[in-house]
Each structure stands twice: as structure tokens, then as C-alpha cells.
Amino acid sequence: MMPKFSVEELVPHSGKMSLLDTIVEYGEDWLHAEVQITTDSMFVDERGVPAWIGLEYLAQAIGAFSGSKERLSGDQPKLGFLLGTRKYRCTTDYFPIGQTLSIKVRRELQGDNGLSAFSCLLQGEGIEASANLNVFQPDDADQFLQDANS
């Protein structure tokens, strides 16, 4: 049985930018999380949360997946970067207030250089969004950013 972790233990985001509510379960190559759309949700307006925010929900679920791997090996979660997405499709323009979104990410490819590809699915009542996301997680994000700015 895998240990239970909170979102805060797995995702290096803080405050309102930590968008996931719950880590439901995870495994060797996948993670399942949930988001509750409320009147207090980040980016909410009178129609709900714009569907394009679904990309960030997916990316943070990937971050949580990575964080679970690091926690299990005794390390702290590291910063990662969303490089791009292919084929983000969503059946709605907004996630309505009161909706619970189920977010599932599965690692499809993992390179030795920190590059990974994930297939992602977001579902709610009458809602489905999917995408393939490419991410990069350097061994040392601070050094990577410093080198990128030189």
C-alpha cells in the first residue's frame, strides 16, 4: 500500500496557486487528483473557471506525480517546467461552480535528461478534457534557471 500524501507535500506551489485539492491515489506511472470548483477557486468568475485553466490542473497533477516519486525516495519535491501540450481538447468553455473535477495523468515516456511525456484526462459531470503534456524537470532548477539567464 502506498503512503498517503497531501497536495502540499507533493506540489511545490503555495498559497492560491496550489490548485489541486486532493490526491486520490497514485501508482508507479500515474496519479489521480481532484479539484473542487468553488466561488473561492483561483480564476473563477460568474460562469465558473475557464476551461483553459484545465491545462494548469493537469500540469500540477504531473507535479504531484513527480513529488510522490521524490517523497518515496526520501527527497523533497523539485520544480518542473511545462514545455508544451498537444491536442488539449475540452467539451466545455467553463468548469461550473460546484463541479468536482477528476484529474488523471499517466507517464508515457521518461528520458534520462529530465524530459517526460504524459497523457492526461480531466473529467467531471458532462465534462471531459484531454491532452498530452511534455515536461522537464532538471536535477537543479535553480542552477538551470541561472544558466538560462546567463
Per-residue model confidence as pLDDT tens digits over 130-148:
999 999 998 777 777 777 8
Most confident of 1-5, 19-23, 135-139: 19-23
Q: Are 95 and 124 in contact, with CB atoms under 8 Å apart?
A: yes
Amino acid at residue number 44:
V
Q: Would you list the domain boundaries of the chain? A: 7-148
**How far apart are the C-alpha atoms of 143 and 36, rounded to whole Å?**
35
- Look up the pTM and report it: 0.93
- From its phi and psi, is residue 126 left (phi > 0), alpha (psi between -120 and 50) or beta? left
- Which pLDDT value is given to residue 119? 98
pLDDT of 149 > 90? The answer is no
Collect all residues with Cβ–Cβ distance below 8 Å to 111 and sequence separation of at least 6: none
Per-residue model confidence as pLDDT tens digits over 31-61:
999 999 999 999 999 999 999 999 999 999 9
Query: Among 143, 129, 148, 141, which residue's Cα sits nearest to residue 53?
Result: 129
Q: Are 91 and 48 in contact, with CB atoms under 8 Å apart?
A: no
- Classified by CATH at the fold level, domain 7-148 comes out as Thiol Ester Dehydrase; Chain A (3.10.129)
Average pLDDT, the chain: 93
The torsion angles phi and psi of 118, rounded to 5 degrees, stand at: -130, 140
**How far apart are the C-alpha atoms of 150 and 148, rounded to whole Å?**
6
**How far apart are the C-alpha atoms of 121 and 132, rounded to whole Å?**
9
pLDDT of 15 > 80? The answer is no
